[in-house]
Structure 1
Amino acid sequence: MLSLRIFTLVLEVCLALATSPLASPTVVLDSATVTGVRSGDTEEFLGIPFAQPPLGPLRFNLPQPILPYNMSFSATSMGPACPQQPLHLPNMSGLPDEVIDCIVNSIYGFIFPDDEDCLTINVIRPATASSTASSELPVLVWIFGGGFELGGPQMYDGATIVQRSIELDEPVIYVSMNYRVTAFGFLASQEVKDAGVGNLGLQDQREAFRWVQKYIEAFGGDPKKVTIWGQSAGAISVALHMVANGGDTEGLFRAGFMQSGSPIPVGDITHGQKYLNILCSRITTVVDYDAMVEATGCSGSNDTLNCMRGVEYPLIKAAVADASSIISYQSLNFPWLPRADGVLLSDDPQKLVQQGQVASIPIVSGDCDDEGTLFSLSNLNITTQSELSTYIRTVFPKISESDLAQLLTGYPADITQGSPFNTSIYNAITPEYKRISAFQGDAAFQAPRRFFLQNLSGKQPIWSFISKRLKDLPVLGSAHGTDTLNVYGGGDMADYLIRFAANLDPNGNTGIEWPQYTNSSPNMLQFNDGFPALSLSQDDYRESAMGLVTKVILANPV
């Protein structure tokens, strides 16, 4: 009878343990215990402050390191996004339903609840990672995109990356952070330059990298094995960190993975003093530093920058909201973007590339085939070559008539040569839509990437790719951002990314062998619809047109 009671007691205990939830994971940061949440094979620690709140005197100022953690707290949900730029949908009448769905659920799905107190970081790790003794796992640090105007870490589920890494037996830790966007992160003027407080969004990212160096071992990560990775503005950010400080990584990262973003042609930060939003060649609003000073009532101040630090948040946010967005006539000519500030970026990033001031690290850099289509939906009022010429002059105000003529020849009116590429006579929703899409995709993404890689060839390990998936998506084709589905959707690009972070080489037992990129053999891994899902191609398309685009943008930094 006694043995039966003992057996029953043991059985009850086992059943209780089997049905009770697992204890919440914890890590110790300084003298604080931080509690996260477990989900399957992963553990998440979300919304951890990594810098002091950028409020009051710290608004429009360099991020300040977080003070030592001395009070335990829960980290079970992401913090709010940094202040976002309002967007207005373009006229989508007549567009297919799948196109509207793609637009609404991509760029317009990236606007989240926001707050000025927003500098938080998220860490997702395998549940097997050790908090007490470092597991020395590689670390992927994700930088979100959004035109330096909007977005947040909530855009994608990092747990899918960690889960896939576990399945590959190449476990990694995933980190994502908020950083200031719009004027809060990229205010530009002489006053900003004199104060040494330019490119605050990039400085926020840099501060998050320092946080990773200091604390990632507590999560089981190896601070010597950090890969920074981003898409769109996030990829541009990765590239700019490679040319920041004369190419000195400061030991913050050892590799970079860039999806649709390279060093961009930007001029001095004083160029942001007067930014004109031009609509159909007619100036409608002025959105610049001086206009913000006036809108916030700081015109009479002897120190306008410091005055705006004291303005109530709703007023300063309203002033920022008047700026144009990436879905407006000027499109990829952003009002808020990184510029040469003399502190982090000493010159036009493309000139820094030419000068060899680039971190010598392994990189992956690639694009989608139809980068320009999404952004050209705001240019549907351009229906003639004359109107296209006017638009190009708004992007490159100093372009010569000769260069303009050559661009128009390089990007002809023949709709079969426009973007979405290789779609014959289809998708020409206006007489100039496919033409301007081809030009914008090359000017903002393809040509800068090719310029970047050609300058780095032979100096460091390079891999490049082109994504031609979703080519059948009407009007948009293989549009900007579609490659993220290859990663966060558990696709084959995720495998290459994870192996690259772990081994500094994307190759493994997934797909086909991915050869390195060199000028003599500019290999690209091509992601295709259907079969074969993967193939190899050469980075030699539209050589003449892109060469001219590169020449023009080098001469006309914004």
Structure 2
Amino acid sequence: MLFRLVPFLQVGFTAAAVISGRAAGPTVTLDGGSVVGTRTGAVDKFLGIPFGKAPVGDLRFNLPEAVDAYSGTIDATSYGPSCPQQALKLPLLDGLPAETVEHILNSIFNAVLPSDEDCLTINVVKPSFANSTSNLPVVAWIFGGGFELGGTSMYDGASIVARSIAMGKPIIYVSMAYRVSAFGFLASQEVKDAGVGNAGLHDQRLAFKWIQKYIGAFGGDKSKVTIWGESAGAISVALHMISNGGDTEGLFRAGFMQSGSPIPVGDLTGGQKYYDDIADKTGCSGAADSLQCLREVDYNTLKAAVDDSPFIFDYQSLLLAWLPRADGVLFSDNPQRLVQQGKIAHIPIVSGDCDDEGTLFSLAQLNVTTNEAVRKYIQEIFLPKVPDADIDALLKLYPQDITQGSPFDTGIFNAITPQFKRIASFQGDAVFQAPRRYFFDALSGKSDIWAFANKRLKGLPVLGSFHASDILNVYGGGDLADYLINFVVTLDPTGGNASSWPKWTSSSPNMLSLNDIGKSVIQDTYRKEAMAKLNEVLLTYPV
């Protein structure tokens, strides 16, 4: 759910704006407007194009509205601001090996994203030769960040497009901003009654509709759109597959997911305590219409209240305050129950996880050092509704034995507390690995599935193959980039220089293991009993 930066970070962001003067860069006509971008080599970029009206005033904490028809000249030479970010709080880093700290700080936290409520912009990166008759396949990227932070400027799609050109399989790359934290995922009875939950997902959906309307002008084929994301972005991809009862509305034909599947979440009212806390801190708790009050409250006052809510590296960590929930609009039920009911789009997918998904987040529980403390954490924080017998079963399936913990396959090493590897294995499976396997079982025989396991960086102390460590494999031009491009073009990740990758089925659960040295095919049967129990418990007691 966290984000991963790439070495193509842009600086000097400005919102897309109307400009005057002679157009100097590549130009695309949308409605009655001329969108002016930039060209570098064989790649054109059109950045920061508004696709949704500013979600301020009555549109704050509301569903997004499409912008009016374009007119005049639109400057699309720099990214728009990110949507309001939740205040960044670092995990405890004292005592960690320098190499590990460097990975955390330099690879994850070295961005300051200019942000603004007026943030709903979209970016298009295309081969410079593409025109309105090219009909190229399209990939739409959804960034991660725990539904709490992140932005499109962190990822430069030029590397993907350039690689696709070099492969002789040119594609168009699109990325969109969406509201995060409370601004995008406010949840309560009041929000449910107003029918405005999951605004961030609606932002993404509106961006998909923009692609359908306008991507042809850039040279894209609106019938060949693959949605792709990592972490919160991958969870979003999966949730779009089950929204509206599994009806894609023709918005996309395939999904590519890195560390994210339909998650076991309950109703919007599950976020009531966080809503009430913000209402109290902004002076809206006594208002006749607290939701409307929150729309009208001063931005800085609201932002301070949101910043004070639990963050992904606070003690409760992956039990997120702000995330998609069943809302009665996009989702009629807990997403995993919708998967169980078969209310899901049967489209081709590629999906996988990092081997040690839970290590990064378990730095938030380093004070949990005894068996009793682990039980208390799981029972009181992570799974407060689960009966004692089920907690006992889970603790038995995720034992204290450090040789069975995460980073997996590292023996007695990396046990920085007596319970760290145990908690890391439990959290990584509960949030990432087990939901993915549940998702696959429901899709088997109905969709083409290609599964992967990222086992690279296993030698990194404490973290191992940690969450988001596979992102540079795509944006940095690694083999995952080739698999992605093949999949976007042909709906099959193999081909060209990409090695053979057998499909996943329930009877033959093949996974492509991406190792520090080479690749291999493994079976998706590890920790089978433990993940089955997790899925059983989480289906009955969603978070």
Residue 444 (structure 1) aligned with residue 431 (structure 2): yes
Partner in structure 1 of residue 537 of structure 2: 552
Show the counterpart of 1:486. Answer: 473
Partner of 1:510: helix, strand, or coil? Answer: coil
Paired position in structure 2 for 1:294: 280
Unpaired segments ≥5 residues, structure 1: 1-21, 275-287
Contact 1:36 1:43 in 2 (8 A): yes
Which residue of the other structure, out of 316, 319, 333, is the alignment partner of 2:305?
319
Distance 2:515 2:364 in 1: 28
Residues 30-55 of structure 1: per-residue CA shift (max 9 Å, x gap)? 11111100111100000000010101
Residue pair 1:111, 1:150 contacting (<8 A) in 2 also: no
SS in 1 for 2:360: helix
The structure that has the greater radius of gyration is 1
Say if 2:127 and 2:172, in contact at 8 Å, map to a contact too: yes
Structure 2 match to 1:14: none
Q: How many residues are matched? A: 520
Once the 2 structures are TM-superposed, how far is the Cα of residue 180 of structure 1 from its aligned partner?
0.2
8 Å Cα contact 1:134/1:222 also seen in 2: no
1:440-488 residue CA offsets vs partner (Å, 9 max, x unmatched): 0000000000000011100111111001011111110000001112111
In the alignment, structure 1 residue 100 sits paired with structure 2 residue 101:
yes
| Contact 2:234 2:259 survives alignment (8 Å) | yes
Give the Cα–Cα distance (whole angstroms) in 1 for the partners of residues 384 and 181 of structure 2: 23
TM-score, L = length of structure 2:
0.95
> 1:267–1:348: 8 Å Cα contact kept in structure 2?
yes
Aligned residue in 2 for 1:247: 246
Query: What corresponds to 2:47 in structure 1?
Result: 46
Question: d(CA) in 2 for partners of 1:511 and 1:322?
Answer: 46
Task: Name the aligned partner's letter for residue 72 of structure 1.
Answer: T
* CA drift at 1:518: 0.3
CA distance in 2, matches of 1:106, 1:556: 35
Distance 1:266 1:213 in 2: 30
- Residue 373 of structure 1 aligns with which residue? 359
Which residue does the alignment assign to 1:223?
A: 222
Query: How do residues 252-267 of structure 1 correspond to structure 2 at under 5 angstroms?
Result: 252-267=251-266
Q: Is the 8 A contact 1:257 1:365 kept in 2?
A: yes
Name whichever of 291-300 and 184-193 sits farther off. 291-300
Q: Is 2:217 the partner of 1:190? A: no
What does residue 334 of structure 2 align with? 348
Give secondary structure in 1 for the equivalent of 2:445: coil
Match of 1:84 in 2: 85
Which of 321, 335, 339 is matched with 1:335 structurally? 321
Superposed displacement of residue 111, structure 1: 4.5
RMSD: 1.1
Tell me which residue corresponds to 2:118: 117
Please list the CA deviations of residues 222-274 of structure 1 after superposition, one character each: whole Å capped at 9, or x if unmatched: 00000000000000000000000000000100000000000000001011112
TM-score scaled to structure 1, two decimals? 0.92
Give, as a single letter, the amino acid of the residue that structure 1 aligns with 2:41: G
User: Within 2, Cα distance between the matches of 1:221 and 1:108?
Assistant: 34
> Offset at 1:23?
5.2
Deviations 1:370-412 (A, max 9, x none): 0000000111001111111111111110222211111111111
Report what 1:539 is aligned to: 524
The 5-angstrom pairing of residues 432-511 of structure 1 reads 432-511=419-498
Partners of 1:300 and 1:413 in 2: CA distance: 48
Range moving further from structure 2, 104-113 or 144-153: 104-113
Shift of 1:428: 0.7
Tell me if structure 1 keeps the 8 A contact 2:482–2:498: no
Matched, 1:416 2:403: yes
Quote how far apart the aligned CAs of 1:110 are: 4.9
Paired position in structure 2 for 1:361: 347
CA contact (8 A) 2:441 2:506 kept: yes
One-letter amino acid matched to 2:430? A
Q: Distance in 1 between matches of 2:360 and 2:276?
A: 31
Maintained 8 Å contact 1:139/1:172: yes
- Asked if 1 retains the 8 angstrom alpha-carbon contact of 2:504 and 2:511, the reply is yes
Aligned to 1:109, what secondary structure does the other structure show? Answer: coil
Task: After superposition, give the CA deviation of every residue in 1:88-132 in whole Å (9 maximum; x if it has no partner).
Answer: 2222111111111111123323551111110000000011111xx
Query: What secondary structure is seen at the aligned counterpart in 2 of 1:476?
Result: coil
Q: How does 1:140-289 map to 2 (within 5 A)?
A: 140-274=139-273, 288-289=274-275
CA distance in 1: counterparts of 2:37 and 2:89, whole angstroms: 37
- Which piece of structure 1 moves more, 505-514 or 358-367? 505-514
The residue aligned with 2:34 is 33
> 1:10 matched to which residue of 2?
none
C-alpha deviations, 1:491-521, integer Å up to 9, x for none?
0010010010001111102242111110000
Distance in 1 of aligned mates of 2:316 and 2:51 = 35
85-94 or 27-36: bigger deviation: 85-94
Cα contact 2:483–2:498 (8 A) shared by 1: no
8 A Cα contact 1:471 1:477, kept in partner: yes
